[in-house]
Structure formats: C-alpha cells, structure tokens
Amino acid sequence: MAPDQHTPTDPTTQYPDSTPGQTIPHPGVTSDMGPTPDHGEDSYVGTGRLQGRRAIITGGDSGIGRAVAIAYAREGADVLIVHLPEEQEDADTTVALVRAAGRKGISAPGDLRDEEFCRSVVERAVTELGGLDVLVNNAAYQMSIDSIEDLSTEQLLRTFTTNVFATVWLSKAAVPHFAPGSSIINTVSVQADSPSPALLDYAMTKAALVNFTLNLAQEVGEKGIRVNAVAPGPVWTPLIPATMPAEQVEDFGTQTPLGRAGQPAELAPAYVFLASQESSYSTGTVIRVAGGK
C-alpha cells in the first residue's frame, strides 16, 4: 500500500530499506522488477498547479519519468513521453495513467542520440499538444564498469550523446516555442559532485548537465524562461538492476542516512514545483532529493 502523500510518516520505514539482488536485461522494464517501484499511482493527488500546461518528458515510460508524468497529468498538464522502442510496454502503461487523469498522453518512441529525432519530438509536441510549456530532460544512459580500462569509446559516446547532447538538442529546439513562464527541468544526479568510480562516464555527464543548467538559465532568463534541475540520489528504477551487478543492487540506497533507496513517487513533487508558478523566482537551481546522501 503506497503511503498517503499528506500523512506524516517516518521516512526511514515508509518504504522497504533494501532491494533484492537482481539483474534484468537492459534497458529494463518495470514488470521485470521486484518489488515494483511506487510511481504515485495510488497516492499522488493533484491540485491544478499545472492546469493547461503542455510537457515533454524524456524517459517518461518508467521510473522517475513515469512518476513525473502521473503527477503532471493529475496537476492538469498534457504530456508527451519519449522512450526507446523496446520500452513500449512501459510507455503504454504510463500513457494510460495520463489519460486516466483526463489529460492528453502521447508516446514518442525513438532514440535521443539522433539529433533529427530530438527536433521532431519538439515539433510533434507543439503540433499535437497545441504548444509547449515544459521540457523535462530526464532520459539517461549508464552502465557500471570495474575500472577506466573497461570504459570503451562506444560506451563513452553513448553515455554523452544520450545524457548531454540530447539535452542540448531538445532544449535548443524547445526554446523558440516557449512563452514567458515556460521552463526546462534537467535530471542531474548526486553523482555530479559525489561520483562513484563504477559510474565514471555517467557521473561526468551529470556534472556537465549541472553546468548546462546554470549556464542556460542565465541566457534565457531575460525571456522569462526558467531552467532548473533535480538531483536524485539512489532511486529504485529499472535503470538500476539493468545496469548494475546484483550485489550492488542488493545494497542499493542502504548507505544513505535514511537507510533505503528512494521511490520515483518521492521525486515527482520537486518536478511539479519547478514547473509551476510557485517556483517563479527559481532559476539556475538544483534541488537535491537524495535521502541525505
């Protein structure tokens, strides 16, 4: 049973304090995981804070992206989610949840490493949603390594193209369509300033995205466009068992002060805040949601 979002609860016991050691095929689908992550399906209650907004959420099929899509829809936003073709099963579930909230939900399968696809995603959102107000750059690639000697050029290019280049391409395509009051929200990570050697290339990209967030915020601020980021700590999503050894998955999140991994539902409110008018004076901001890590 998912905890009620408004009831004070001990955060150390709100969810299980450990995850079972497991691996699943990359890129990972939610149905292969155990336990199933909480995306807020049974707990998130909207209050109209994003009424009439139009949003793109990359990596919106599962994990944090799904939680954000659910929250945005229940706050009144129409949503287009971007995902890999092999993640269609998860994407269909997310779109159904968006539509169940009475909002328009669109699935856009493709590979963000293709610059033309990134441009087409923005154009599709503008056409089918009637405009664009929010871009959530959440999709990411990671794969753990034993040492720098194991980091192939192929992996390095894939990680940077997915995490950094695609964020730049999408933002570049979106800004001309934004009116004052629009926003870009980037998913960064605690890895940006507290890196793990096993995630060398991934951590580098997240540091780059922090810089990009602070930098772009300065440029587009005069247009009334805000650029912010959320920095998750260890969060239970398909990315974890699909990219890490089983022994690391088993201990995932237990080293945090709260003693457990986070759930996607616990991240969504930060993305809602940064997209809403409530955060009108927040730009170039990084919100850390990491269980104290």
CA distance 129 to 124: 8
Find the catalytic residue in 15, 72, 141, 202: 202
Query: Quick check: is 44 catalytic?
Result: no
Q: Which residues are catalytic?
A: 202
